Structure formats: structure tokens, C-alpha cells
Chain A
Amino acid sequence: GAGVSQSPSNKVTEKGKDVELRCDPISGHTALYWYRQRLGQGLEFLIYFQGNSAPDKSGLPSDRFSAERTGESVSTLTIQRTQQEDSAVYLCASSLRVSGANVLTFGAGSRLTVL
């Protein structure tokens, strides 16, 4: 597609429920990132997929968080047993190597509100 597409754009859920957030990267982009942006905070790295390499999961805050990516296509971020502190905007970005440095194209984000 022309840009990075994320869905849903808004999600309101009850504490304890599971949620799935989807990211559709730009076609041909080998790398895909997930970040979390809490209100008034910076971007918190969650997970990074690069091609067929094992993902870098070092930013996932707990075992309630997981993410999958099939090949170089869609990725899903799953949060199990949601807590109020999970409320945030979840940003997905994809990239194509430029000068050896990944330049990110961001999606519009999925805003998650846990009641």
C-alpha cells in the first residue's frame, strides 16, 4: 500500500480482555517496529522484526504482550488480560534500508483505552 496502515484506529476495552492490533506495512519494507506512546510520553520501543531474522522482543513490558509477523507482511500485536496502564497509542512503523540506516514510515496509530 501507499502507507503504513493500522487498525483499529481506536479501541476501547474492559480491563482483563484481550486485544489485537494490526499493522499492514509498506510493500517491500523488510523491517517492522512496534512502539507505545503513553499520553505525554515518548516512544517506547516494544518489538522489531527484520526480514526472516528472529525478532528483537527486548522492549515488550510483560509476557502479556506478544507480536507476530508473517514473512514481510502484516503484523499483529496482542495484549492479553489488558490493564489500565496499557492505555496508550500503539504505533507501527516499517522501513526500507537507506544508507544503511533504517528510515521509518509510521502509521497513524491505534489508540487503546482500557476501562
Chain B
Amino acid sequence: AQSVTQLGSHVSVSEGALVLLRCNYSSSVPPYLFWYVQYPNQGLQLLLKYTSAATLVKGINGFEAEFKKSETSFHLTKPSAHMSDAAEYFCAVSRVGRDDKIIFGKGTRLHILP
């Protein structure tokens, strides 16, 4: 089975500061990994995905994430936070070669301080 742990249900950063949202996964086989974002009063949308090609994945709005097998991590970063980044972020996992479900973490709400 696969699972995802997101450290920190709430993260606050100042505008212009580095954003780091943590995600650790557990999977019995190599994983596919995703970050989704939910802006206030909007539906979830894909931010970026890892599908076993490059370990550093770039997404929309300046976000990127790095797959680290040795650490079973897929942390999301952005060099400089913007007020519009305030949202809830979800890490998700599925399994390579398996035609199966995608499991989400509990989410991290990102607050941007002026």
C-alpha cells in the first residue's frame, strides 16, 4: 500500500521568503508523486508531478519539487513567496506499474505574511 505524510498542517512565510512544504511517502514499489493546490473557493489543480524521469520537477507558478529516494521525500519549494501563493497544498502518491488509486496527504495550508 502507499501513503503520504505532510509535515505541518499550517505553514507561514513572509512575502519574498523561501517556501518549503514537506512531503514524505511510503510505497512498496517506485512511486509517482504529485503536488496539487487548492486556492480559496476553487477546485484542486495539479501543480507538478514526478513520473520517474528527472528527479527535479518544475511546476506552475515558480514551484518545484525534488524526488529523493533515499529520504522517501518529495518536498515542494519556491524561492520567493507571493501573496497569491496562499492556498492549501496536497501531496499525493500512486504506484508505478499499478493501475490503482491515488492517495493524498492531509494537506498543508500556506499563509503568506505581508
Interface residues of A (CB under 8 A from B): 33, 35, 41-43, 45, 48, 50, 53, 56, 58-59, 91, 93, 98-104, 106-109
- State the CA gap A48–B96 with chains docked (Å): 17
A91 touching B44, Cβ below 8 Å: yes
Q: A59 to B101, alpha carbons, bound, how many Å?
A: 10
- Residues of chain B within 8 A of A53, CB atoms compared: 99
- Contact between A42 and B51 (Cβ–Cβ < 8 Å)? no
Task: Flag if B106 contacts A42 (CB, 8 Å).
Answer: yes
A100 and B32 contact, Cβ closer than 8 Å, known pairs A41-B106, A106-B43 = yes
Q: Would you call B102 an interface residue if the criterion is a C-beta within 8 Å of the partner chain's C-beta atoms?
A: yes
B102 and A102 contacting across the interface, CB-CB below 8 Å? yes
Contacting residue for A104 out of B53, B97, B100, B102, CB 8 A: B102
The reply to whether A107 and B43 form a contact with Cβ atoms under 8 Å apart is: yes
CA distance A93 to B34 in the complex (A): 15
Least distance between B47 CB and chain A CB atoms (Å): 11
Query: Would A42 and B43 count as touching, CB distance under 8 A?
Result: no
Given A100-B32, A100-B96, A107-B43, A45 contacting B103 (CB threshold 8 A): yes
Question: Using Cβ atoms and an 8 Å threshold, which residues of chain A touch B106?
Answer: 41-42
Q: B55 in the interface, Cβ–Cβ < 8 Å?
A: no
Nearest-neighbour CB distance to chain A for B77, whole angstroms, equals 21
Provide the bound-state CA to CA distance between A115 and B6, in Å: 32
Chain B, range 66-109, C-beta contacts under 8 Å to A:
90, 94, 96-97, 99-107
Q: Which residues of A contact B107 (CB under 8 A)?
A: 41-43
With the chains together, A35 CA to B94 CA distance in Å? 15
